């Protein structure tokens, strides 16, 4: 089973850069999208059902902002839109599809880099999302949480870690929080389990020559329950074409949904 996570930094922008030409070649079973930056009315038929995939979307109320989506080869048994928390759901940050005992989630955790106010909103999200992560972990379901978590966990996860110790995305509180997700709640970081020593950058700043010099951050993850995490066979980051400031993260699981 192939699952892809891709922050598109605008679904219409990514479409113009060839994302929907590339996607059918991947033969993915599930594709999780973040940062749609579109309303439902902005989505073309080609964006809704690419490659005969089923498409589901949780758009933000604010135009040109946030939003998540999921494509699936098989029609899900259930689709859950949002967390049931009004201010979070207004920003379109959580979408889940269920197939039997398996759930796949597209998650877009807030960024705090634009202002102190947004950092506080990010902390608030993290605080309220943690009990949900605990509940999911105890649900008895196998779960893959795909998406842009906007946090680099360890020094290996970003090139210039020393220069970012006081910056959003690598703050001590953020790193401790995602560490608890792994160490206390038992979630598995699929990439890091497969490749303990490979940086695995998925995002590059548009400033300077970050992409060309590979001065990146690993902030996009497949975070899984232990069962399906152990079934992760291989993972890759697609950089041959640039659809966004993020690169798609592709993981193949020895799993049948």
Q: Which residues are catalytic?
A: 148
DSSP states of 153-197 as a string? Answer: -SGGGBTT-GGGTTSTTS-HHHHHHHHHHHHTT--EEHHHHH-TT
For 23-45, the DSSP string reads GGGG--SEEEEE-----GGG--H
**What is the end-to-end Cα distance of the chain in Å, rounded?**
8
Other Cβ atoms less than 10 A from the Cβ of 77: the count is 11
Phi first, then psi, for residue 105 (nearest 5°) are -120, 135
Give the separation between CA 145 and CA 247, rounded to whole angstroms: 17
In this structure, what DSSP letter does residue 103 have?
Answer: E
* Tokens at 228, concatenated: 């399906």
d(CA 76, CA 173): 36
């Amino acid at each position: 089973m192939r699952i892809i996570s891709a922050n598109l930094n605008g679904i219409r922008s990514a479409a113009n850069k060839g994302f929907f030409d590339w996607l059918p070649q991947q033969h993915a079973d599930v594709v999780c999208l973040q940062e749609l930056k579109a309303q439902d009315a902005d989505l073309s038929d080609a964006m809704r059902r690419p490659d005969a995939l089923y498409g589901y979307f949780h758009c933000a109320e604010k135009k040109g902002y946030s939003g998540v989506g999921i494509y699936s080869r098989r029609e899900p048994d259930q689709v859950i839109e949002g967390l049931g928390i009004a201010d979070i759901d207004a920003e379109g940050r959580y979408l889940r599809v269920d197939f039997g005992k398996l759930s796949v989630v597209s998650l877009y955790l807030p960024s705090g880099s634009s202002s102190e106010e947004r950092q506080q909103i990010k902390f608030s999200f993290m605080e309220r999302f943690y009990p949900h992560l605990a509940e999911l972990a105890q649900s008895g379901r196998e779960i893959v949480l795909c998406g842009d978590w906007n946090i680099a966990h360890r020094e290996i996860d970003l090139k210039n870690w020393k220069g970012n110790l006081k910056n959003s995305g690598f703050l001590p509180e953020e790193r401790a929080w995602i560490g608890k997700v792994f160490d206390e709640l038992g979630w598995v970081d699929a990439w890091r389990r497969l490749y303990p020593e490979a940086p695995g950058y998925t995002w590059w700043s548009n400033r300077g020559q970050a992409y060309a010099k590979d001065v990146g951050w690993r902030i996009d993850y497949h975070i899984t329950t232990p069962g399906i995490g152990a079934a992760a066979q291989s993972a890759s980051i697609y950089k041959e074409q640039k659809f966004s400031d993020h690169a798609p993260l592709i993981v193949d699981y020895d799993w049948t949904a």
